[in-house]
Amino acid sequence: MERSILQDLLKWKQSKHRKPLILNGARQVGKTWVLRHFGEVAYKNVAYINCDREPRMATLFADFDVQRILKAIEVITQVPVVAGQTLIIIDEVQEVPRAIQALKYFYEDAADQHIAVAGSLLGIMLHEGISFPVGKVNTMRMYPLSFAEFLKATGKESYAKVLEEQDWPSAAVVHEQLLDCLRHYFYVGGMPEIVQAYIDGEPMWTIRDMQNEILDNYIQDIGKHAPPREVMRISMVFRSIPGQLSKENKKFVYVVVKEGARAREFEIALQWLCDAGLVYKVNRVNKPEAPLQYYEDFSAFKLFVLDCGLLGAMSNTSADSVVIGDGVFEEYQGAFTEQYVLQEMKANSELPIFYYSKENSRQEIDFLVQCGQQVIPVEAKSGKNLQSKSFGSFCKEHNPEVAVKTSLLPFRQNNTVTNLPLYAVRAWFDGKER
């Protein structure tokens, strides 16, 4: 299963400024597989250790004598550790927090060694008093499969190539086929295990059962790792997201979680979900100018889950309502479309993404994306009617150099407005200036 992050990993290996690598991401997005595959294709040896299964890891990092640690890794894995030829992988590293601290000493005392660590709850661990080796590590974040990765995994490499090359005339020729693939992606999503089941021909109800199992695992993680007094609140926030997104105004509202709820009751719960990589938080800005962070309003935000397939499972949508016709694109006030557009942009890069609403007005823009010093408004629509009063008013008032409106229509450039088919979101944003 080809993952685009492999290219980033190869660049990391070849970099003259390479540091120990931390690969972050939610549970079951494929971190272990991609690191082991990367080791197999790019190195002579792979020394892999899973901290959750190796009881000796607790004592391995009793001190930070790097040469002693390297010799111990050789003994445990029975793999020769040779600088430049061996990739050391320490998985589920959150089980041994001192391993994160040890990366500082790998950087200082064994810079020629290639070491990568991964864990499903690293974001949480790093907010719990663990000494983070600032400036001594490289970091990457991994997401579920994007739509382009889904196309490649399901044997539609030629479609993916058309999108990656931004060959819009050719995309128009296979427009209906791409939309059909997109409907299936909306249901299946990008979790690797689920995509593989789809490739293997498992029925749609089995795929839904597997998605529900992943969601159950997330809930169990909350119970196992979250502060006991926050477990209920975290679960309540997570389960409320489909209802939040089904509103016309998708701004997160605490009373949807619990009647009479206030922000301070759920601050820790929200942060926990973000740190675990289970949700994406998109804050509002009160002024659509670069740098957008200067105008960030932390009190107003939208919450999305990490994968459209999991959102479908949480919403209990049926297979026929998703893969037949265009109903899914408009269902729940366009919740699935906005979810999909956001996760495609997130998987593409670390572009700053916000949304905008004007005070004392109904004017709202689904997303504002900053590319360099350019602020691009993105209207995440899914129909064939390109008219949007709010979007038009925004463009007239702020005159952006580039604006994007998604739809079910083929690609079309209309002066400064790019009418972008939904299936092309990631391809269009790929390569934009950070």
Q: What is the pLDDT of residues 174-199, one digit of tens each?
A: 999 999 999 999 999 999 999 999 99
Q: Is the pLDDT of residue 242 over 60?
A: yes
pLDDT band per the 50, 70, 90 thresholds, residue 128:
low
pLDDT band per the 50, 70, 90 thresholds, residue 401:
very high
Of the candidate ranges 27-31, 144-148, 325-329, 402-406, the one whose mean pLDDT is the lowest: 325-329
Q: Is the pLDDT of residue 433 over 70?
A: no
Q: Is the pLDDT of residue 284 over 90?
A: yes
Asked which of 84, 116, 141 is the last residue of a domain, the reply is 141
Instruction: Looking at the structure, tell me whether residues 112 and 152 fall in a common domain.
Output: no
Task: Kindly state whether residue 69 falls inside one of the protein's structural domains.
Answer: yes
Instruction: Looking at the structure, tell me whether residues 176 and 114 fall in a common domain.
Output: no
Q: Is the pLDDT of residue 265 over 60?
A: yes
Instruction: Looking at the structure, tell me whether residues 156 and 302 fall in a common domain.
Output: yes
pLDDT of residue 11: 97
pLDDT of residue 89: 98
pLDDT of residue 130: 64
Contact between 79 and 46 under an 8 Å Cβ cutoff? The reply is yes
Instruction: Looking at the structure, tell me whether residues 93 and 241 fall in a common domain.
Output: no
Asked which of 141, 176, 198 is the last residue of a domain, the reply is 141
Q: What is the pLDDT of residues 329-351, one digit of tens each?
A: 666 568 889 999 999 998 866 78
pLDDT of residue 98: 87
In the chain, what percentage of residues exceed pLDDT 90? 75
Q: What is the pLDDT of residues 289-332, one digit of tens each?
A: 999 999 999 999 999 999 999 999 999 988 877 776 666 666 65
Mean pLDDT rounded to a whole number for the chain: 91
Find the CATH number of the domain harbouring 50: 3.40.50.300
Instruction: Looking at the structure, tell me whether residues 108 and 247 fall in a common domain.
Output: no
Instruction: Looking at the structure, tell me whether residues 247 and 332 fall in a common domain.
Output: yes
Who wins on pLDDT, 298 or 431? 298
pLDDT of residue 325: 63
pLDDT of residue 329: 65
pLDDT of residue 249: 86
Instruction: Looking at the structure, tell me whether residues 307 and 324 fall in a common domain.
Output: yes
Listed in sequence order, the residues at least 6 apart from 16 whose beta carbon sits closer than 8 Å to its beta carbon are none
pTM for this prediction: 0.93
Instruction: Looking at the structure, tell me whether residues 95 and 196 fall in a common domain.
Output: no
Q: Is the pLDDT of residue 368 over 90?
A: yes
Task: Kindly state whether residue 434 falls inside one of the protein's structural domains.
Answer: no
Asked which of 141, 166, 182 is the last residue of a domain, the reply is 141
Which structure tokens are listed for 257?
A: 């979680």
Tell me the three-class secondary structure of the chain, residue by residue.
CCCCHHHHHHHHHHCCCCCCEEEECCCCCCHHHHHHHHHHHHCCEEEEEECCCCCCHHHHCCCCCHHHHHHHHHHHHCCCCCCCCEEEEEECHHHCCHHHHHHHHHHHHCCCCEEEEECCCHHHHCCCCCCCCCCCCEEEECCCCCHHHHHHHCCCHHHHHHHHCCCHHHHHHCHHHHHHHHHHHHHHCCCHHHHHHHHCCCCHHHHHHHHHHHHHHHHHHHHHHCCHHHHHHHHHHHHHHHHHHCCCCCCCCHHHHCCCCCHHHHHHHHHHHHHCCCEEEEEEECCCCCCHHHHEEEEEEEEEECCHHHHHHHHCCCHHHHHCCCHHHHHHHHHHHHHHHHHHHHHHCCCCEEEEECCCCCCEEEEEEEECCEEEEEECCCCCCCCCHHHHHHHHHHCCCCEEEEECCCCEEECCEEEEEHHHHHHHHCCCCC
pLDDT of residue 109: 96
In the chain, what percentage of residues exceed pLDDT 70? 94
Q: Is the pLDDT of residue 282 over 90?
A: yes
Q: How many domains does the chain have?
A: 2
CA atoms within 13 A on the CB side of 119: 25
Q: Is the pLDDT of residue 129 over 60?
A: no
Instruction: Looking at the structure, tell me whether residues 33 and 159 fall in a common domain.
Output: no
Contact between 93 and 58 under an 8 Å Cβ cutoff? The reply is no
**For the residues 93-101, what does the mean pLDDT come to?**
87
pLDDT of residue 155: 97
Q: What is the pLDDT of residues 19-43, one digit of tens each?
A: 999 999 999 999 999 999 999 999 9
d(Cα 400, Cα 368) in Å, to the nearest integer? 11
pLDDT of residue 210: 98
pLDDT of residue 417: 94
Instruction: Looking at the structure, tell me whether residues 153 and 241 fall in a common domain.
Output: yes
Instruction: Looking at the structure, tell me whether residues 262 and 239 fall in a common domain.
Output: yes
Contact between 271 and 227 under an 8 Å Cβ cutoff? The reply is no
Instruction: Looking at the structure, tell me whether residues 161 and 131 fall in a common domain.
Output: no
Residue range of the domain that includes 361? 147-429
